[in-house]
C-alpha cells in the first residue's frame, strides 16, 4: 500500500538489504515488529482497541444498533467494517470520502472476520425477519508506518472481543434494551499476516519504506484451528507457487504465536 515516492538510491538500498536477508530496521525477513494492544480506550464505544505494530498505530471502535436484517439472511445479525485514513497519520492521506485503499483495507478486515465466522451472527437475531443487532467496526489509521492490514485486523479482533451489547427482551413485538450488558457471541479468532515480495524475497510485516518498493503483497488470515480462511493479493507483481507455500507455512505458525502471546491475555481478562 505505497503512499510516497522513493528515490532510486533508497530503493536500491532497501532491495540490496533484502537480498542479503536484512532490513532497514534491523529485522530478519521472518520477524514481525513489536506489538502492543490496549483495549477499552474509547469510553463511549461498545468495544475498542488500539494496536501498535512498530510505528503503525490503529484504533478501532465498535458500536451496535438494532436494525433490519439483510433480505437474504433474515435470521442473522450483521457485522460490517469501515476504515478512515486520518490525515494526520500520513502526509499522503487526504480528507474526504474513502479512497480505494481505505475501501480495500476495510474489505480485507471484514473478510477475515466474516470468513472465520468470528462472531456468531445467528445469535444476534432478536426477532426473525424483523430485528437484529448490527455491529459496526470503525477502523481509524492514526500513524502509518506500514502494514495497515495486520494492525487493523488485530485491532478489530481485539475490539470485538471486548464488545458488550445490551441484553434485550421482546414485549408485544417491541424490542426493549435492558441495563445488563452481555458480550458478543464469539466462535473464532482470526489472525492476519501480511508479506511484501521484494525481488525474490518475502518480508513479513513490511514497513512503509518496504511497501514503497515491493513488487507484490499477500495477506493471509488463519482461524484458531489453523485453517486459511481468507487471502488477498495486492500490487502488480507476480507471486510464484513457491512464494505462496513459503508464506503459508510461515503465516500458519506465526498466527498461532500471535494468538497465544497477544490475544489470549485479552480472553483471560474478559472471562
% of the chain beyond a pLDDT of 90 = 87
pLDDT at 85: 78
For 20-45, the pLDDT digits (tens) are 999 999 999 999 999 999 999 999 99
For the cut 60, the answer to whether the pLDDT of residue 173 exceeds it is yes
pLDDT at 3: 45
Which pTM value belongs to this model? Answer: 0.93
**Structural domain spans, the chain:** 8-270
Band of pLDDT at residue 259, cut at 50, 70 and 90: very high
Nearest to 102 by CA among 59, 152, 54, 156: 152
For the cut 50, the answer to whether the pLDDT of residue 1 exceeds it is no
Band of pLDDT at residue 93, cut at 50, 70 and 90: low
Q: Are 10 and 205 in contact (CB under 8 A)?
A: no
CATH code of the domain occupying 8-270: 3.30.230.70
Band of pLDDT at residue 90, cut at 50, 70 and 90: low
Nearest to 108 by CA among 156, 48, 60: 156
DSSP letter string, 205-270: S--HHHHTT-SEEEEEEE-TTS-EEEEEEESSS---HHHHHHHHHHHHHHHHHHIIIIIHHHHHHH
DSSP letter string, the chain: ---S---HHHHHHHHHHHHTT--TTS--TTPPPPEEEEE---TTSSEEEEEEETTEEEEEEEEEEEEPPPTT-TT--EEEEEEEE-GGG-TT--SSS--HHHHHHHHHHHHHHHHTT-B-GGGGEEETTTEEEEEEEEEEEEE-SS-HHHHHHHHHHHHHHT-EEEEEEEETTEEEEEEEEEE--B----EEEEEEEETTEEEES--HHHHTT-SEEEEEEE-TTS-EEEEEEESSS---HHHHHHHHHHHHHHHHHHIIIIIHHHHHHH-
Angle of CA points 117, 226, 148, to nearest 5°: 70
% of the chain beyond a pLDDT of 70 = 93
For 233-247, the pLDDT digits (tens) are 999 999 999 999 999
A 10 A CB-CB count for 105 gives 26
- Compute CA 163 distance to the chain's CA centroid, rounded to the nearest angstrom: 16
Phi, psi of 17 (to 5 degrees): -65, -50
Amino acid at each position: 500500500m505505497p503512499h510516497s515516492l522513493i528515490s532510486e538510491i533508497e530503493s536500491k538500498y532497501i532491495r540490496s538489504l533484502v537480498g542479503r536477508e536484512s532490513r532497514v530496521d534491523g529485522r530478519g525477513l521472518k520477524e514481525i515488529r513489536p506489538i502492543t494492544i490496549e483495549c477499552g480506550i474509547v469510553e463511549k464505544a461498545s468495544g475498542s482497541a488500539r494496536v501498535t505494530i512498530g510505528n503503525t498505530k490503529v484504533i478501532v471502535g465498535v458500536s451496535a444498533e438494532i436494525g433490519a436484517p439483510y433480505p437474504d439472511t433474515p435470521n442473522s445479525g450483521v457485522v460490517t467494517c469501515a476504515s478512515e485514513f486520518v490525515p494526520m497519520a500520513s502526509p499522503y492521506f487526504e480528507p474526504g470520502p474513502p479512497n480505494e485503499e481505505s475501501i480495500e483495507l476495510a474489505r480485507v478486515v471484514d473478510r477475515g472476520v466474516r470468513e472465520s465466522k468470528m462472531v456468531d451472527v445467528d445469535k444476534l437475531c432478536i426477532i426473525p425477519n424483523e430485528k437484529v443487532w448490527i455491529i459496526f467496526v470503525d477502523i481509524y489509521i492514526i500513524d502509518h508506518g506500514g502494514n495497515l492490514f495486520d494492525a487493523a485486523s488485530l485491532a478489530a479482533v481485539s475490539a470485538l472481543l471486548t464488545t458488550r451489547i445490551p441484553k434485550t427482551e421482546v414485549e408485544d413485538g417491541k424490542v426493549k434494551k435492558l441495563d445488563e450488558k452481555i458480550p458478543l457471541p464469539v466462535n473464532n479468532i482470526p489472525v492476519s499476516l501480511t508479506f511484501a515480495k521484494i525481488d525474490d524475497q518475502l518480508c513479513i510485516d513490511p514497513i512503509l519504506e518496504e511497501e514503497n518498493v515491493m513488487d507484490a503483497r499477500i495477506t493471509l488470515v488463519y482461524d484458531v484451528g489453523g485453517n486459511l480462511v481468507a487471502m488477498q493479493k495486492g500490487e502488480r507483481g507476480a507471486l510464484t507457487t513457491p512464494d505462496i507455500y513459503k508464506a503459508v507455512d510461515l503465516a500458519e505458525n506465526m498466527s498461532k504465536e500471535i494468538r497465544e502471546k497477544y490475544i489470549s491475555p485479552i480472553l483471560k481478562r474478559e472471562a
